Amino acid sequence: MNQLQQLKQTSTVVADTGDFLQLARFAPQDATTNPSLILKAVLQPDYAPLLESTVAAHQSASLDDIVDAVLVRFGLEILKVVPGRVSTEVDARLSFDRDATVARARRLIALYEQAGVKRERVLIKIAATWEGIQAARELEKDGIFCNLTLLFAFCQAVACADAKVRLISPFVGRIYDWHKKSLGAAWDETARSLSNDPGVQSVTRIFNYYKQHGIATQVMGASFRNVGQITALSGCDLLTISPDLLAKLEASDAPFERALGGDLGAAQPAITYDEAAFRYALNDDAMATEKLAEGIRGFAVDAGKLDAMIEKLRTN
């Protein structure tokens, strides 16, 4: 078996892309999108007609409504290819507004349901800020499943579990990036690879904590920089992987061992956070604080670019 086939025996493989034309090749169970991936897709000629037709069909709607229609249109196309779920992200500019996040999530779900898609096939992606986690808590009570993203700190994972969210996406590559940049010339790539990779270690700690305490929230490792990070997390509930890394896994027959799910390591005491404790713990983690803010800014910039493209189409 190639490495992709091996991986599918231990983890649910998810495609991290808005390019639904690539999906069938890798046969993933689910797919995830975000504003940057959707922007990347609509800039390709293959997707220009989809964007244009969606905007034309909603000319009189507000900009926010048109954006949501575009996101859902991509989600509907993805769901024609994957048998499982699609993750559709709430505008990152709402990351610190609980009520607005809830309202936007409900509108996205309503659009999917109007198109005949059951809500069980959709994960609403929300940044793992305190406000985002509390929005997810409310949405989950209504049967709207959530995927908490931009998750870098252990306190974020604990708060998501307390909110009983369906799934979290702890990032690997961006944690790796931060530590590599921080250490500069002192970084040893070989010594900090596989199970010693700081991003891999972060996800492993979260996964083990969840399993030790019987937490139902699913862990989906995300944001990978290389195949080694992926294989070092084999056995994680889910792994969302970009098409280029899926292709590398498919091209290799090198064997690897299941990494997670066997030895859960030393027992970790149960922890809870109220708002003040959560904010302090997040503030105390320089890497997580910087990467969360950077991630929200980046998604917001790309959301703004998509807004501009839609406005241009609407006025032409």
Q: Could you write out the DSSP letters of every residue in 294-310?
A: HHHHHHHHHHHHHHHHH
Two structure tokens written together for 250 = 């498919």
User: Rounded to an integer, what distance in angstroms lies between the CA atom of residue 134 and that of residue 115?
Assistant: 28
- Which run of H or of E encompasses 131? helix 130-141
The answer to whether 217 and 226 have CB atoms below 8 angstroms apart is no
The single residue listed with the structure tokens 């996040």 is 101
Per DSSP, the three-state class of 249 is: helix
Find the farthest-apart pair of alpha carbons in the chain and give their distance in angstroms, rounded: 62
The answer to whether 264 and 212 have CB atoms below 8 angstroms apart is yes
Two structure tokens written together for 11 = 């983890």
Environment class of 189 (CB within 10 Å of its CB; exposed 0-12, middle 13-18, buried 19+): exposed
Catalytic site residue from 125, 181, 211, 305? 125
**DSSP conformation class of 95:** T
Active site residue 125: yes
Q: Could you write out the DSSP letters of every residue in 63-76?
A: HHHHHHHHHHHHHH
Closest by CA position to 18, among listed 313, 302, 310: 302
The answer to whether 219 and 209 have CB atoms below 8 angstroms apart is no
End-to-end CA distance of the chain: 51
Strand pairing of 86-89 and 30-32? parallel
User: Rounded to an integer, what distance in angstroms lies between the CA atom of residue 117 and that of residue 98?
Assistant: 25
| Active-site amino acid positions | 125
